[in-house]
Structures are given as structure tokens and as C-alpha cells.
Amino acid sequence: MLQTYHPLSSDVLVRDLNLGREPDGEVTANAIDVLGIDGRSTADLARARAISEAETPHLIAFLRDRLPGFQDAALGKYASAVYVRETRHFAGVDRLTATDVWNGQIPDDTIGLSSYPLDLHPVTAADKLAYAPIRHVYGIPFGTLVPRDLANLILASPAISATHIAAGSARVIPTTIEEGEAAGDAAALAAHEHVAFPAIARDSVAIAELRSTLRRDGAILSYRALPITVAAKEPAARG
Ligand SMILES: Cc1cc2nc3c(=O)[nH]c(=O)nc-3n(C[C@H](O)[C@H](O)[C@H](O)COP(=O)(O)OP(=O)(O)OC[C@H]3O[C@@H](n4cnc5c(N)ncnc54)[C@H](O)[C@@H]3O)c2cc1C
């Protein structure tokens, strides 16, 4: 259906609707991609806001016409802020790449598993969808949380050391929560042992201790795919 939507602005793409139903009947829509925006620039963010506010009534009119259940839809309110997907990444002791994600690499310093697809949104109109929406289970290496040249800073955020493509997967909330857990444990270890984060990243004994603490508290740090027969039986078992 969205292939037939013609945005008002040439700087807008609406690839999917990403609708959320709130308990009070409101529906949130995370649908309007504004192209060519530098999320570090307040002027660009103001432009993105103006473009999306102009686009929204046009999109709602389209949905009223085409989407069952939306015949009487009306604009409730705009999001309080423009949602910025990505700006900066730190250069870390290690760097997560698309190959790591695609190949399901689980390195020895993994502090948490992640499995969101490589979900990239276009930055320019020429950007094409290059990756199928497939989940690959891979590990977040501790080295990606440790900035290369800073001894006393640790990251738990979409800004970890990752390429733009890898960040399309690792940027999500469950993964950043795991990073937060690992960063907290690493900070406790650093304070207790009087060592800096890059030293922990280079020390296999310290990494083993960190991973053991994480495992003790319930983190899952390794993965083996379930045999396919289990998955195939599941729907029948549910009747
Ligand atoms: C359009 C979009 C859709 C997304 N959809 C999903 C999804 O469906 N599922 C999912 O899991 N993830 C999704 N994400 C990713 C998710 O939003 C992030 O993983 C998550 O918000 C990261 O949490 P955070 O606490 O690291 O950063 P943030 O949520 O960005 O929080 C950082 C906070 O720090 C504040 N701050 C910044 N600088 C300062 C300062 N100097 N002083 C004080 N405060 C400061 C900011 O205002 C902000 O409130 C989406 C992201 C985008 C942009």
C-alpha cells in the first residue's frame, strides 16, 4: 500500500508505518523518514521537525482513505522531539562490523547477545535496503564498549564502537540494557582492582571474571541454534 504514497516533500520517505496501539485507543506512528539530516545540527533538527509536521496531515489523509480502521483517524499530537536514529560512534578498542553480525560472531569477550536484524533507514534518497530482515545471533564484544584513547569512560549506548551498518542492529534497547549491565560490572571491577577499562579489555583473566559475574546474574553469553525439529513441532503442540 505504501508504494502508492507520494510524499509532499522530496526529503521524505515512508517505508513502513510502525504503528503502536496505546491503551486509550491512540495510535502512535513512527513512519516518516526525513532524508539528509545531520542529527548533530539544531538547524537540521528544526528543518526535520517542520518537514514532518507538514507531511503528517497528508499521510493521515492517505491512511484514512486506504487503511481499514483509519477512516476516522485524526491527528492527536506530534512527538515531543524528532527521533534521531544515529549520530556519533566512539572509536573503541574493538569495533563491531556488519560481517560480525551477519556471520553471528560470538567472540571470547562477549558481554551479551544481540539478534536484531540489520535495520537501516535511508540517509539519502539513493540509499537502498541492502540487508534482508534476518536475525543473526551475535555477541557484543567488551572492547566495543571501551573508547580507544580514554581510560575512564565506558559506553552502554547506541554510540558504542560499531560501523553504521552494524549499528543498524546493535542500537536497540535490549542490547543497550545488556551493555549497561556489563558496563556497571566492569566499573565495579575497575574500581576494585584499580585498573582502567582498556586494561580490562586486554586482560583475558579480567574478562573471564567480568563474564562470570554477568553469567551469575543471569546473562546469556553463548548460543547454539535449537534443532529445527523443535521449532517445526511447536505450532502443532500449541494446537
Ligand atoms: C526512530 C527510532 C526507532 C527506534 N525503535 C526501536 C525499537 O522499536 N526497539 C528498540 O529496542 N529500540 C529502538 N530504537 C533504539 C532505542 O531508542 C535506543 O536503543 C535507546 O533509546 C537507547 O537508550 P539510551 O539510554 O542509550 O539513549 P537515549 O534513549 O537516547 O537516552 C539518552 C538521554 O540522555 C539525554 N542527554 C543527552 N545529552 C545529555 C547531557 N549532556 N546531559 C544530560 N542528559 C543528556 C538525552 O536527552 C536522552 O534523554 C529506536 C530508535 C529510533 C531513533
Q: Do residues 28 and 19 touch, judged by C-beta distance below 8 A?
A: yes
Q: What mean pLDDT do residues 24-47 have?
A: 95
Report the range of poorest mean pLDDT among 70-79, 127-136, 181-190: 127-136
Here the cell at position 44 is 537540521
List the residue whose alpha carbon is closest to atom 6 of ligand 1. Answer: 172
What is the 195 CA–ligand 1 centroid distance (Å)? 29
Domain boundaries, given as residue ranges, for the chain? 2-66, 98-216
Q: Give the three-class secondary structure for 162.
A: strand
Place of cell 582498556: 198
Measured from the CA of 84, which atom of ligand 1 is nearest? Answer: 53
- How large is the average pLDDT for residues 45-71? 97
The residue whose C-alpha atom lies closest to atom 2 belonging to ligand 1 is 85
Residue-wise pLDDT for 76-111, tens only, equals: 999 999 999 999 999 999 999 999 999 999 999 999
Distance 72 CA to ligand 1 centre (A): 32
d(CA 163, CA 148): 15
In the reported structure, the alpha carbon of residue 170 is separated from the centroid of ligand 1 by a whole-number distance in angstroms of 13
Q: Is the pLDDT of residue 125 over 90?
A: no
Please say if the pLDDT value at position 218 is more than 50: yes
β-pairing, 33-34 vs 12-13, is antiparallel
Going by C-alpha positions, the residue among 239, 114, 105 that lies closest to residue 176 is 114
Which atom of ligand 1 lies at the shortest distance from residue 121's CA? 1
- Three-state DSSP class for 235? helix
Give the rounded percent of residues in the chain with a pLDDT score beyond 90. Answer: 82
Q: Looking at residue 229, what is its pLDDT?
A: 57
Rounded-to-integer distance, Cα 204 and Cα 210, Å:
10
What would the grid cell of residue 201 be?
A: 579489555
Query: Please, what is the average pLDDT of the chain?
Result: 92
Residue 30 Cα to chain centre, angstroms: 14
Task: Give the integer Cα–Cα distance in Å for 154 and 197.
Answer: 7
**Strand segments (E) across 51-149:** 110-114, 138-141
Radius of gyration, alpha carbons of the chain: 21
Residue-level pLDDT at 132: 84
